[in-house]
Amino acid sequence: MKPLKRHPALIELSREHHGSLSLCVRLLRTPDQSHQAELEPHFIELEPHFFGRGNHVCAVLG
């Protein structure tokens, strides 16, 4: 998979989310493998992240 060209406005966000983006690439490259052990820690971290972002987005879109 070739590296993606990112819009300049997304570069910092991409850097902040590098670990999760890397995990997504690994999942895409090996879809037939079980990634359960790799995914579980991310779910624990991501649930509050998305809950917080969701509240922020809802407030902005109001």
DSSP3 helix / strand / coil % (the chain, rounded to 5): 75, 0, 25
Which residue bears the tokens 């790799």? Answer: 38
Q: Which amino acid is at 46?
A: L
pLDDT for 29 equals 92
Q: Which amino acid is at 8?
A: P
The percentage of residues in the chain with a pLDDT greater than 70, rounded to a whole number, is 81
* d(C-alpha 32, C-alpha 30), whole Å: 6
pLDDT for 16 equals 81
> Is the pLDDT reported for residue 30 higher than 90?
yes
> Is the pLDDT reported for residue 12 higher than 60?
yes
The mean pLDDT of 39-44, rounded to a whole number, is 83
When comparing pLDDT for 60 and 5, which is higher? 5
H helices of the chain, where? 11-16, 18-29, 36-61
The mean pLDDT of 6-34, rounded to a whole number, is 86
Under 8 Å between Cβ of 20 and 46: yes
